[in-house]
Structure 1
Amino acid sequence: MNITPINSVEYETFPTEIRRYLIDAGVTIIKNNSRSSVYHIKGPVHDYFLKVTSKDQMNCEAIMTNFLYNFGICPKVVHYVSNDTNDFFVTERLTGSDAASDEYLEQPGHLSEVFAESLLSLHRVQPVNCPITNGLEEMVIRAERKYREGGVEKGLLRYLGYSNIKVAYEDMISLFKNSTEDRVVIHGDYCLPNLILQDFKMTGYIDVGYGGIGDRHYDIFWGLWSLQFNLRSDDYSKQFVKAYGKHLIDQDRLRLCGLLSAFNGFRGQDYYEK
């Protein structure tokens, strides 16, 4: 465990209102890469997570986390602030550990069912007053622009069975023209690390910044992708589909959401395999 001293030079650049949460606290670096850093801040009277990104990256995450907190399925928002270069987002820690932890990966069959049931539970949240829309039309507009700019995530295209980018794009447009959206509240980044479990029971979701009102198949696609990525096997997709409800899943719309993801980069981020 990497416990970083409180007098770290890095923390001196944090806004004053964020640094006050670090006083007398143990700080564990959970993640630190070019897109974001995550810290666990355990103080005498608080247990928080701090996420730091480039400026203007987490406004939607703060909004959706707060919205879903009202349903008891996201952590409480403690503080959200920006300075000239960064966003800082503090939330309470949910009880449990993420679904990609070894204790859950060791029981992949059970995990795939809980993973699906937890997604279905989210999709049953009433979308009334949901403050953000992240639907198929919005995704297609972005995907068309990214295609013209030459953006495509080749790993996702291979996962979908495509070798020709132009054919994949044409299929995406055709599928969209013939689709009807099944609008629910989506997570937007539904993968095992973003589901928190305790003894295989869902305690909540994190990283909901790409969520909002959208098509359920977007989350289903990423859920299936996460299972094969984290478990290194496609053997559990049928259990996931059965637990979620096979009758709720349209294969054409599932493929559409996969293609949208490929052209939009991972979860709508400008990240593409070179």
Structure 2
Amino acid sequence: MNAQELEGYEWRRDMVGESGGAVYRLHHKAGGPDLFLKHGKDAVADDITDEMARLRWLGAYLPVPACVRFTRSADEASLLMTALPGKTAYQVMEQFPAQRMAVVAAIAKFLRSIHAIPASACPFTSHYEYRLARARERLDAKLVDEGDFDDARAGWTGEQVWTALQALLPLAPDPVVTHGDYSLDNILICDGEVAGCIDVGRAGIADRYQDIAIAWNCLEEFGASLQEEFLRQYGIPHFDREKLNFHLMLDEFF
């Protein structure tokens, strides 16, 4: 990183969604924009590299952070990027209950815009076959946090989740450009609209339920009626419960 770019900023470590790396918010610099800095080693460095590549591509289609500087060595990577305005969708829903229905409508609309990006233009894959292979690698390397599984799989082992996944195959493909981790923490809301999305390191061609499942799961905390409203606003006439369960179980490995 260029030390001059970082001079004059106050640093605050962001503990949400670090995924093994370090994330810092750089702010309160006179005349300077707020920035985020991600840094990690080994596998995390690979994840940061993936995010950089996807940010640069997605910027032509969606409001995402702009890459200010990226550095990479054999085993480390750092990514400096602009901050998006607003609060996360989760923060807005938690702090302002009266706005929950509007937020659900906004994130469903934004998800439709992601899925409308021409798949033929996307150079990245997140097909479930690819992610299954990655999941198996992570399970064999003992990188899966079994204590962090969703309540529906509390007490399960990684091997039990893996076996349950296999029982749901094959899936009928419905490929679109996906965010890959469309959680309420990764969507920014400003003035009632989605200002953009962050943490796009898993973006790529995948079944649309990759995003639908994660958003639906996040909304469970706020009630089934909002989950149903999200599906209605997105426009799903026939809800595929098996696909939803498959993608929720697949996400346990990451």
Name the TM tier (shorter chain): 0.7 to 0.9
Provide closer, same or farther for how the CA distance between residues 163 and 54 of structure 1 changes in structure 2, counting only shifts above 3 A: closer
Distance 2:106 2:94 in 1: 10
1:91 CA drift (Å): 1.7
SS in structure 2 at match of 1:37: strand
**8 Å contact 2:51–2:201 — kept in the other structure?**
yes
Unaligned runs of 5+ in 1: 1-14, 269-274
Distance 1:121 1:198 in 2: 17
Other-structure match for 2:35: 49
Other-structure match for 2:100: 108
Question: What does 1:239-250 correspond to in 2, within 5 Å?
Answer: 239-247=229-237, 249-250=239-240
**8 Å contact 2:147–2:154 — kept in the other structure?**
no
For residue 122 of structure 2, the aligned residue among 130, 137, 143 is: 130
Matched-pair identity in %: 20
Number of aligned residue pairs:
244
Other-structure match for 1:8: none
Q: Which amino acid aligns with 2:4?
A: R
For residue 70 of structure 1, the aligned residue among 60, 65, 68 is: 60
Larger radius of gyration: 1
Distance 1:250 1:51 in 2: 38
Provide closer, same or farther for how the CA distance between residues 243 and 156 of structure 1 changes in structure 2, counting only shifts above 3 A: farther
For the aligned residues, what is the CA RMSD? 2.7
Provide closer, same or farther for how the CA distance between residues 210 and 109 of structure 1 changes in structure 2, counting only shifts above 3 A: same
Provide closer, same or farther for how the CA distance between residues 137 and 216 of structure 1 changes in structure 2, counting only shifts above 3 A: same
Q: TM-score, with normalisation over the residues of structure 2?
A: 0.82
For residue 220 of structure 2, the aligned residue among 225, 228, 233 is: 228
Distance 2:228 2:219 in 1: 11
Residues 45-79 of structure 1 deviation map (CA, whole Å, 9 limit, x = unaligned): 43132222313230110111111111142122111
Other-structure match for 1:6: none
SS in structure 2 at match of 1:213: strand
**Comparing 38-47 and 67-76, the one that deviates more:** 38-47
Distance 2:243 2:138 in 1: 20
Unaligned runs of 5+ in 2: none
1:213 CA drift (Å): 1.3
